[in-house]
Amino acid sequence: MIDKTKYGWWRSAVFYQIYPKSFQDSDGDGVGDIPGIISRLDYLEGLGVDGVWLSPVFASPQADNGYDISDYRGIWPLYGTMEDMDRLISEAKKRGISVIMDLVLNHTSDEHPWFREALKGRENPFHDYYVWRDGSPDCPPNDMRACFGGSAWEYVPALGQYYFHQFAVKQPDLNWDNPRVRRELYDMIRFWVARGVEGFRLDVIDSVAKEPDRKITARGPRLHEYIRELSREAFCEPGLVTVGEAWSADVEEAKRWSAPDGSELSMVFQFEHVCLDQRGEKWDTLPLDLVELKRCFERWQKGLHGRGWNSLFLDNHDLPRIVSRWGDDGKYRVESAKCLAAMLHGMEGTPYIFQGEEIGMTNAPLELDGYEDVETVNMIAERRAAGYAEADILASARARSRDNARTPMQWDDSPNAGFTSGTPWLAVNGNYREINVRAALADPDSVYHFYRRLIALRKSLPVFREGTFTLLAPEDREIFAYRRDTEREHLLVLCNLSGNARSFPIPPDFEGAERLLGNYPEGGPVLRPWETRMLRAGEAT
């Protein structure tokens, strides 16, 4: 087992993201909950993960499924109680699983007591916890847009002022330039560390140093000063793992965020790779150019080697399901899910698996009136108003809505996939009779068992953690092949990301090498549709 008191333990770890609302309901109200998560810890232990990142479980009116927090020190009653949370932390720890909580520090809910106070008047001590500008009803301070549509400014007539919100109207931005705000947040973080939480994911952390007058949201001038202070004041324990969500990060920026001296964070989620198949807005999709994707990963792998640390992910609660996005969720669902997994997990960094990815869950075929996500609902309204055809709006939502990732976890083939005995808050994907955990556990060739082996390999072979990365055949439009090398150990990862059979020359030093993993029976020189192979040469250290 990993020694989690040591700085850097997370370099050998694999994490699993839980979206609590959709993971496991224990009381039949149709909403997942903490006792439900506890009941599935044995499953996660069996998979072999070292930690779970919980999307927010704090008290919240749920305008953005918990990313709108009304009490950072309370649990949303539908998820359970503080006692349940304490039990989850200790039960997880018994199984070698750390609990990583999701910190939403950029904004609160408009129902947070701080904001309610702030609304009482300009002289109220909490007023300056948020970002206000004077204005008149029809003249916002500027034309900045919110991420979920509409203006980023909301007028409060009683104050004659606008407040700034990068996300939904119900998510007012906190004013990080006020030192009292920062101190409140640090205290709150220490509260959770004292309860046994072993790490944090930091929501849109690159946006906290905003300067709306200059239309700056991400990467404001004081950003790294604030992050270093946060790290010093709140993340004092050497064993804490911290991962910042940073849509704006490029390689140079990520080196600062994840500097090996630990002055900022352990690592960041960067999103360059998942933005390659869109044109401007995420709703306007483009086919993925595999050559671009390979270049992108190569840049990150080489750039951060020895100078920072990568996080590795293809799926999360904001992204469509990867097997539907870059794989083939029809004929080659199983093969392509494994192939994409091998592509990702062979690289240097800390992998994150999003619930259901490990059984190859697919996008959800919802109808336009079935979407719950605030971002999708707003997009549908905006595009209808702008005169888009219904069929085009539906195609965008089905390809890109965040609800694709949020349909309930598919545990078995009983009604509602074993997620709830009640009515699920979001429809279960109808393919649960075929794609579910029970079936995956029983089938040695399932996507689940492939993930389990990948996780075990990463832990047993140092080359996964330490090896240099070399991209092979960079211009090949179907095959993603790379090698990882330490002085004594060599790893070759071959991924045919296409439905065509393809030959590929094996580098001579891998002739006769040990096959660690594959998604087809051992075969000759031709890579079959969506075939992946991992080969190892040399001595393990």
Catalytic positions are 203, 245
Q: What's the rounded Cα separation, in Å, for the pair 109 and 167?
A: 11
Q: 357 or 485: whose CB is closer to ligand TEU?
A: 357
Residues in region 280-309 near ligand TEU by CB under 6 A: 282
Residues 401-420 that bind ligand TEU (CB under 6 A): 402
For residues 137 and 162, give the distance between their C-alpha atoms in angstroms, rounded to a whole number: 9
Q: Which is nearer to ligand TEU, 378 or 421 (CB)?
A: 378
How far apart CA 191 and CA 73 sit, in angstroms, is 8
Q: How far is the CB of 371 from ligand TEU (least distance, A)?
A: 13
Beta-ladder partners of 470: 483
436-465 residues near ligand TEU, rule: CB under 6 A: none
The residues, ordered by sequence, that sit 6+ positions from 66 with a Cβ below 8 Å of its Cβ are 20, 21, 55, 56, 57, 58, 60, 76, 102
Residue 470: what are its φ and ψ, rounded to 5°?
Answer: -130, 120
Please report, in angstroms and rounded to a whole number, the separation of the first and last CA atoms in the chain: 18
Q: How far is the CB of 156 from ligand TEU (least distance, A)?
A: 21
- Label each residue of 25-56 as H, E or C: CCCCCCCCCHHHHHHCHHHHHHHCCCEEEECC
Backbone φ, ψ for residue 231 (5° rounding): -65, -45
Using CB under 6 A as the binding criterion, the count of chain residues that bind ligand TEU stands at: 14
The contact mask relative to ligand TEU for 59-78 (x = CB under 6 A, - = no) is -----x--x-----------
Binding mask 177-206 for ligand TEU (x = CB under 6 A): --------------------------xx--
- Minimum Å gap between C-beta 168 and ligand TEU is 8
For residue 158, count CB atoms less than 10 angstroms from its CB and return exposed for 0-12, middle for 13-18, buried for 19 or more: exposed
The least distance separating ligand TEU from the CB of residue 194, rounded to whole angstroms, comes to 25
Taking the least distance from each CB to ligand TEU, the nearer of 317 and 484 is: 317
Binding mask 234-273 vs ligand TEU (x if CB under 6 A, - otherwise)?
-----------x-x--------------------------
CB of 234 to ligand TEU, least distance (A): 19
Nearer to ligand TEU, 178 or 378 (CB): 378
| Beta-strand runs (E) in 76-197 | 98-103, 132-134, 153-156, 161-164
Whether the CB-CB separation of 249 and 225 falls below 8 Å is answered with no
Binding mask 317-346 for ligand TEU (x = CB under 6 A): xx----------------------------
The candidate with the shortest Cα–Cα distance to 517, out of 498, 502, 532, 507, is 532
* Contact flag: residue 97 with ligand TEU (CB under 6 A): no
Choosing from 95, 96, 140, 147, the residue that interacts with ligand TEU (CB under 6 A) is 147
Closest separation in Å from C-beta 518 to ligand TEU = 34
Alpha carbon of 439 to those of 111, 293, 352, 360, 425: distances in Å?
Answer: 43, 33, 23, 12, 24
User: CB under 8 Å to 501, separation ≥6 — which residues?
Assistant: 526, 527, 528, 529
Nearer to ligand TEU, 204 or 377 (CB): 204
Q: By CB under 6 A, name the binding residues for ligand TEU.
A: 64, 67, 104, 147, 167, 203-204, 245, 247, 282, 317-318, 375, 402
